[in-house]
A and B are shown apart, each in its own frame.
Chain A
């Protein structure tokens, strides 16, 4: 019999109070206060985020949180984005959908990242959740437009359908016609990843026309420029718009019409798309530019002066994604025009070319950092860098939370001093005290890891490639980075010592990926045996790892903590160890 203390509130009051607590971290803290709070909290938790779908089984989640309305799951390791994870590795969402279909009939939102989603899963979603509202498939694969048709037809109150960067087997554009005429609830539709040459455009137009709350619409490349004006006129309330193809032989009056259509969208703040841009049509955007906070030109192969002309008209810009055609001169214009800039991503137009063919150097990034002190997030591909530049960037942008630098040629030194870039990255971690994510490149010794271990106390995710001299480097990171959750390493001379000496650290992290390093199979085996709450998965596509001596290095492995033990859906090339040290597969 629960002892009622004088100062305790009735359960429903507590539940009401908890309903104001949204962040997972806070909810977890609340649930740890006492058993009563744990019980109340678990019954009223509506949103669950599972950063690694194999860290826990669906049943365990359902048992603890019986009334969930919104779930977010992530599957494959991040390096799967770069083809380092073989096909068939896993990350299947179907088992989750099956369990949730029975347990969460009121589920409204599913957000997935890097998972394998089949048409069967989509059909099951459409059938099982009567009030389903939000489906976000970020970098997912395994489904076709047939599955999308099921969602369109089955989810009567669908608000969000976002397929960003997913791989869809595009069988036909007719899936759009499966949205019933009664569907008016769409708020967000992102089909930019679809390839179909034939999009059922009339269905799209009608759909857009009857959804008055549509705020975000991202079209795919198949939609041609001449169609855009009609779409925009039907949805002047749009806040975020992704064009399709931006090239066409447009007669002048159509171009004027397009400009008019854009200017009628008074709420428009975010633009993307712009495949195959013909610069002559960019002025159609000018009326929107002053309001733009987000601009994604990373598919647009326009060069200067067009980029400069566009960017200079966007004083409110907070987020810019662009190709390196912007060059240092364009970044200078950016720095002087866009003082509110928070996020900048510069992608390489010719990543495999070797020799730079655009004049984008470290100077461009320095200029932006000097001109835009509010910068929080940087992703920058370039061919050369100096320690001095990095120090300047670090000192100018102390608010950086994400810094990803990719110097395209591995192990490139400071081109002026020929020294490693340890000091430069050291400055980044020292000055940017809130840094949560860091990706390294260039010539780096163990020293950079010493800096990282010393200063990067809030760092949660670290990506390392072609860096370091010895195990000491890895040790610095595992030993010193208190907030580290995700560590991914490739092609570094890190072996067993640091890993084993810091084995306990791995249980405090979400995951560790290492490939083309020098960790031996013996070490993996030991970890797998002795750390039951870790899943140690060796990836070997050629032969079982125990067919070689234990001192042989493994090509790739992935270690993650889990409360549900080894997974059962491993493909043939993934090997784990059981408690007896036997390979399980």
Chain B
């Protein structure tokens, strides 16, 4: 491959035209050592029909340097910080520091903690994990998969939770939140506020103001959930564990629409009302 430069877009790497000379723009082959710290764009295609790559040592060759980005900082990756945003926001995928990825871990990662691994589709997991569990009479397993409640044929078994859908009135795109990563209503509400308040601000619509807490009725919005029986309830009235075992999905509803979800707005319960219903 030395000495040949393949132009951008010169067909897939499979053609043997790789080694014939097109109009030579640059013909230099440079060995790039590992110490190279600039980000460069390699605009050539690799791997000709000859098959063997030359990269059997630690250094490898680029087929010409076309662009450099000298104004970029060095490509040495700084340690990934794991503090982007509140930790309780559901982020799909693994969150790991740079170290744990590159180091050859001798101790196996606990499989159940890794999102999306093993790579099995959620509907399959729902379907037979439940069956297997009841057959073996084992302890609860907590798969980190989205359990769409409508597919949970065996009913909503305790402990089989993960992501539930959240929709907010006025925002067309729903989100998902991982209930497993919360232990109280407060953290959940905080996470939802961050999720939707931030989304609301970055959409080019009229900003939806969602003042402070969703839980105490002082906001324009109120947090509700659909339970196992299909009824919509206000979030916060039952103990957390009970809520978590019966919730199917969440909805951030405009307070004005929350009629009929009686408990919160009953004066005798002692909670505050900010607006008359």
Interface residues of A (CB under 8 A from B): 79, 81-88, 139, 165, 167-170, 193, 195, 221, 275-276, 298-299, 301, 323, 347-354, 357, 381, 406, 408-412, 439, 443, 450, 453-455, 457, 463, 465, 469, 472, 475-476, 478-483, 490-493, 495-497, 500-505, 507-508, 515-518, 520, 522-523, 526-527, 530-531, 540-543, 548-553, 555-556, 571-572, 585
Contact = CB atoms under 8 A, between A and B. Distances in A.
B150 A169 contact: yes
Given A88-B174, A454-B52, A504-B42, A548 B73 contact: no
26 contacts: A81-B119, A82-B119, A139-B121, A170-B150, A193-B123, A195-B151, A195-B153, A301-B132, A347-B120, A410-B117, A412-B108, A450-B56, A454-B52, A454-B53, A476-B53, A478-B46, A479-B60, A482-B49, A500-B39, A502-B45, A505-B45, A508-B12, A508-B13, A518-B101, A526-B41, A526-B69
Contacts of B135: 301
Interface residues of B, number: 98
Contacts of A548: 81, 84
A523 B150 CA distance: 41
Nearest to B59: A472
A550 B89 contact: no
B63 to A, nearest CB: 9
A518 B124 contact: no
A354 B78 contact: no
Given A301-B131, A571-B173, A84 B115 contact: yes
B274 interface: no
Contacts of B95: 516, 555
B41 A500 contact: yes
Given A475-B55, A497-B36, 19 more contacts: A84-B93, A88-B175, A167-B123, A351-B120, A351-B143, A410-B109, A410-B117, A453-B53, A469-B104, A479-B13, A500-B40, A505-B45, A516-B93, A527-B41, A551-B78, A552-B78, A553-B77, A555-B95, A572-B198
Given A83-B163, A472-B58, A505-B45, A351 B125 contact: yes
B78 A549 contact: yes
B270 interface: no
Contact of B121 (A81, A518, A572): A81
A551 B261 CA distance: 49
A538 B91 CA distance: 14
Contacts of A167: 123, 148, 150-151
Contacts, number: 276
Interface in B24-69: 32, 36, 39-47, 49, 51-53, 55-56, 58, 60, 62, 67, 69
Contact of A87 (B41, B42, B104, B165): B165
Given A454-B51, A475-B60, A83 B74 contact: no
A547 B168 CA distance: 26
B165 to A, nearest CB: 7
A556 B49 CA distance: 32
Contact of A411 (B105, B151, B163): B105
A91 to B, nearest CB: 13
A462 to B, nearest CB: 14
A235 B89 CA distance: 51
B208 interface: no
Contacts of B269: none
B45 to A, nearest CB: 5
A450 B116 contact: no
A87 B112 contact: no
Nearest to A505: B45
A534 B81 CA distance: 28
Contact of A350 (B43, B92, B132, B173): B132
- Which 9 pairs of residues, A with B, have the shortest CB-CB distance? A479-B46, A542-B85, A82-B116, A482-B14, A501-B42, A542-B84, A482-B13, A88-B173, A493-B102
B184 to A, nearest CB: 21
Interface string B126-168: 0111011001101001111110101101000000000101000
Contacts of B129: 350-352
Given A351-B125, A450-B53, A520-B75, A82 B39 contact: no
B174 A495 contact: no
